[in-house]
Amino acid sequence: MQIGAGMPQVFSSNANGIARFILWGLCFFAIFAAIGGTALLRSGFITGVGRPVAQAVPFSHKHHVGDIGLDCRYCHNGVETSASAGLPATEVCMTCHSQIFTNADMLAPVRASLASGRPLQWQRVNSVPDFVYFNHSIHIAKGVACETCHGDVDDMPLMQRAHSLSMEWCLGCHRDPGPNLRPPRDVFLLHWNPPQDIEQVRRSLISILDIHPETMTDCYVCHR
């Protein structure tokens, strides 16, 4: 086709402006979406941080840990030896609740579980994907406290996630474990007050406990 004087303009003169607006708009939208998406992925809406999870038995860590002062290991007894910290068997609940609050409605499912032999079912609060092999015992042994990952459970009437447990969050500590270390004897303490010379303690912990941060970001440390 030959371009001739008689041929009409396909686009009007303000089409340029519209095109620029759309192109710039797309760019801004993409940036906005990227920033917004990134923020959303890290927000509690996605990670579940700070959102209590309803349970069949409204077990309160605030009451049992904060008020009564039970040790974590009374219920989570695998935490020092096994990959999984473990949840208490119904029997463990009943060690006390066969004596106190024996008729509380709240505890009816626990009594039913013991009577029927059917286990209690708890909603998982802190979870990592199946391809992540987290091991509690090694963290405990190396001076990473319960509250470092699980937060102030003594302030949680219902359990909730304290941290995102995302890979980015895990790596933060695996790259530089120092700020999260404490003497292993103190790992079960909540609201722990670091001593004055904590920086020096942490430096010595790294060498005493034979911690090698340069090896802790190898993929197979968590993925097998």
Partner 1 sequence: MSAIADIKSVSASDLAALRRAATGREPWRSLDELADTAEFRRFGEAEFPAIAERLPFSLDRRTLLKLMGASLSLAGLTACSEAERIVPYVRQPENIIPGKPLYYATALSSDGYGIGAVVESHEGRPTKVEGNPDHPASRGATDAIMQAAVLSLFDPERSRAPLRQGEPASYGDFLKDMAKLAGGLAASGGQGLALLIEATTSPTTKAQIGSLKQRYPKLRVFRHDPLAASANEQATAKLFGRPLTPIYHFDRADVIVSLDADFLGEGPGRLAYARDFAQRRRVRKSTDTMNRLYVVESTPTITGAAADHRRAVRPGLVEGIAAAIKAALEGGHDAASLPSLGMEYALVDDLREAGRNALVVPGAHQTPFVHAVAFAMNARLGAVGNTLDFIEPPHAMPIDGDLAALCQAITSGSVDSAIVLGSNPLYTAPSDVDVRNAFSKLKLLVHWGLYRDETAFLAQWHIPAAHELESWSDIRAYDGTASIVQPLILPLFGGKSLHQLLAALGGEFDADMQALVRPTWADMDEPAWRKALRDGVVPNSASAPVVVSIPADVGDPAPHAPVTNRLEVRFEADPWLRDGRNANSPWLQELPRPLSKLVWGNAALISPATAQRLGLENGQMANLARGGKDLDAPVWIMPGQPDDTVTLSLGFGRKIGSVAALSGGYDAFVLRTADAPWFADGLVLTARDGSARVVTTQHHQAMEGRAIVRHATLDAFRQDPHFVRDGAPPAPTESLYPDWTYDQEAWGMSIDLSACIGCVACVSACQAENNIATVGPDEAALGHEMHWLRIDRYYAGAVDDPDTFFQPVPCMHCEKAPCEAVCPVNATIHTHDGLNAQVYNRCIGTRYCSQNCPYKVRRFNFLKYQEFDKDSAGPQQAVHNPDVTVRSRGVMEKCTYCVQRVAEKRIRAQIENREIADGEVVTACQQACPTQAITFGDLNRKGSQVSREKAAPHDYALLEELNTRPRTTYLGKITNPNAGIAGKPGTETGDG
203 vs 130: CA distance, rounded Å: 33
Q: Which residues contact 137 (CB under 8 A, 6 or more apart)?
A: 78, 79, 80, 81, 82, 83
What is the pattern of x (binds partner 1, CB under 8 A) and - over residues 156-195?
----------------------------------------
Cβ proximity of 144 and 163 under 8 Å: no
The least CB distance from residue 32 to partner 1, in Å, is 18
The length of the chain is 224
Binding to partner 1 (CB under 8 A) within 66-125 occurs at: 77-78, 81-84, 86-92, 113-114, 117-124
Interface with partner 1 by CB under 8 A: which range of 14-22, 100-108, 185-193, 209-217? 209-217
Pick the closer one to partner 1 by CB: 18 or 119: 119
CA dihedral 138, 139, 143, 148 (to 10 degrees): -170
Pick the closer one to partner 1 by CB: 99 or 196: 99
Binding to partner 1 (CB under 8 A) within 4-63 occurs at: none
Tokens 């790294």 -> residue: 206
CA angle 91, 50, 101 (to 5 degrees): 30
| Chain positions contacting partner 1, by CB under 8 A | 77-78, 81-84, 86-92, 113-114, 117-124, 127, 129-131, 133, 135, 137-138, 141-142, 209-210, 212, 214-215, 218-221, 223-224
